[in-house]
Amino acid sequence: MSNIMEINNRKTFAIISHPDAGKTTLTEKLLLFSGAIKIAGAVKSNKIKKAAASDFLEIEKQRGISVATSVLSFNYNDHKINLLDTPGHKDFAEDTYRTLTAVDSVILVIDCVKGVEEQTEKLMQVCRMRNTPVMIFINKLDREGKDPVELLDELESKLSIKVRPLTYPLGMGYQFRGVYNIYKNSFDFYSVNKTKIEDDVVVFEGLQDKGLDDKFGTDAQKLRHDVELIDGIYENFSIEEYLNGNLAPVFFGSAINNFGVKELLDTFIEIAPSPTNREITNGTVKPVDKNFSGFVFKIHSNLDPKHRDRIAFLRVCSGKFERNKFYLHVRLNRQLKFANPASFMAQSKSLLEEAFPGDVIGLYDSGIFNIGDTLTEGEGFMFKGIPRFSPEVFRIVRNTDPFKSKQMEKGIQHLTDEGLAQLFVQNYGNKKVVGVVGELQFDVLKYRLLNEYGASIDFVTMPAYKAFWLKYENKNDIQDLLNIRSHSLYNDKNGNLVFIADTDFSLKMAMDKNPNVKFLSSIEHNDQTILMGDVA
Ligand code: GDP
């Protein structure tokens, strides 16, 4: 098959949702429909429901499984689908944001009882930043939920995206009868847990078809009224608007009952984007470009504690990746070849000979990759748009076993490479501070340092409000910070200068006194402009 055909064949996406909306269930049903798995219950959820370390430890024991489910590749109707898994727990949201940089579209799952929830809003903000095309699946229609029109309004107002329902439900909960496909004028009848994965669909000649009255009796009027209302309110569906990330098609269903899933999947195959262009430091890379290129968006350390190996997950962006061929690791300016790259089909990992744009490959890594690293066939560019957000909680790291300092240093180095936490070292001292998005990450860091590196640490709380990367033209711009506020200045892993404000007031003061400095709450992994070198 030619490269172009391989590219057009592929769809790389993620399913996102607030925990419990039904992401794992939908993932499983997609795999069932595609034939990639045979029985329900095969997809292990790698999410953590409660914010407790003990839950994570249990998950850790299953790390092999969670890695295998990091990427699920399967075939459906002659397409190769790469589904990238994202952690459900909000404390690991950064991992999700990074994964979203590697997909071409997303499916957002909403619980019809709960509507748009906090985590949904945050995830959608990230999608909106990148104009990622979004499809919405409103789940759990077998339960008494919010009114569909109300849900659609809520989606538009809270997620700042236009929506267009492509199906519309008749009834809900006990009264749920099924969904009407607005464009195909067909009705898909609902039954509890459809055991055969096939449609029970009746096609009508439009809304005025008398058949509707035969099938639904008095409900037919309601259905006509609802669908006409929807057609009146919402503009016609435009694939182009969807692909630009401005308009989200909406489907209704019940994942656990296999209902509405096939419709979603079929439309997804039809309209979701194939691998798209990617921005680089000096232009754009197109999937059809002849030369191979790709970037690392996720790193998983110590899969097997006995071997200390890590896997770097690389998204192929252009050309063709081949096993045992030399590629340039741009940041290190080093030629590397990979003897054992892994691919992920359904739930198993296997050796890969070649990969095409849209594919995700696992590269065994002895510690040479950072998130955002680029591989090319020799060109010196880096991929852009891989964000690093300012952490929200900070703690000082205290080594509680002086004989294990080296192990601690190494462990912290590796685990922060992985993106589990961010490390800041005080500019004038040697105080080490780790910053995370959610408290649970501290527990995980401590646990993994002990179990994987034999290092024992404690955390000391510190007054910290927010952290900002500092952008400035020359050293004079930061004189006040260096002279008066040096205790709040830190260096991140790349040597960028960071201001950790202890209060809102101290932040305002610092900003007032340093008008030529930009205080940034997020930067890109490969942002070179911010590197200011040694200021101490
Ligand atoms: P995730 O946290 O988003 O991955 O959610 P899960 O897929 O684990 O689902 C959370 C809960 O909702 C589980 O108990 C599911 O069985 C249940 N669930 C998923 N889909 C449906 C549905 O269509 N209807 C109902 N009633 N429950 C569902």
Q: What ranges in 382-520 are assigned the alpha helix state H? A: 405-417, 440-453, 479-484, 504-513
Using the predicted structure, report yes or no on whether residue 528 has a pLDDT greater than 60. Answer: no
Report CA(256)–ligand 1 centroid distance (Å). 7
Q: What would the pLDDT profile of 448-494 be if each residue is shown by its tens digit?
A: 899 889 999 999 999 899 999 999 988 889 999 889 899 999 999 88
Report CA(140)–ligand 1 centroid distance (Å). 8
d(CA 159, CA 136): 11
Find all residues with CB under 8 Å of 72, minimum gap 6, and list them.
27, 31, 36, 82, 83, 85, 344, 346, 347
What are the C-alpha distances in Å from 150 to residues 140, 146, 154, 181, 460? 16, 7, 6, 19, 47
Identify the residue whose C-alpha is closest to ligand 1 atom 16.
256
Q: What would the pLDDT profile of 8-65 be if each residue is shown by its tens digit?
A: 999 999 999 988 899 988 988 888 888 776 655 555 554 444 334 444 445 555 544 4
For residue 176, which amino acid is it? F
Q: How would you classify the pairing of strands 105-111 and 167-170?
A: unpaired
Burial 460-471 (b: 16+ CB within 10 A, else e): eeeebebbbbbb
Report CA(258)–ligand 1 centroid distance (Å). 12
Q: What would the pLDDT profile of 71-101 be if each residue is shown by its tens digit?
A: 888 889 889 999 998 876 667 777 888 899 9
Give the residue, 160 or 1, on which the prediction is more confident: 160
Using the predicted structure, report yes or no on whether residue 532 has a pLDDT greater than 70. Answer: no
Quickly tell me which residue has 């060109």 as its tokens: 379
Task: Tell me the CB-side half-sphere exposure of residue 510, using CA atoms within 13 A.
Answer: 28
pLDDT range class, residue 193, cuts 50, 70, 90: low
Report CA(71)–ligand 1 centroid distance (Å). 21
The residues pairing with 108 across neighbouring beta strands, listed in sequence order, are: 16, 136
pTM exceeds 0.95 for this model? no
Burial 373-392 (b: 16+ CB within 10 A, else e): bbbbbeeebbbbebbbbbbb
Question: Which of 344, 342, 362 is closest to 352 using CA atoms?
Answer: 342
Percent of the chain's residues with pLDDT above 70: 87
Q: Is residue 426 classed exposed, middle or buried when 0-12, 13-18 and 19+ CB atoms within 10 A define those classes?
A: middle
Which residues form ligand 1's pocket by a CB distance below 6 Å? 17, 19-25, 45, 47, 88, 139-140, 142-143, 254-257
Tokens of residue 90, six digits:
């909000």
d(CA 60, CA 52): 13
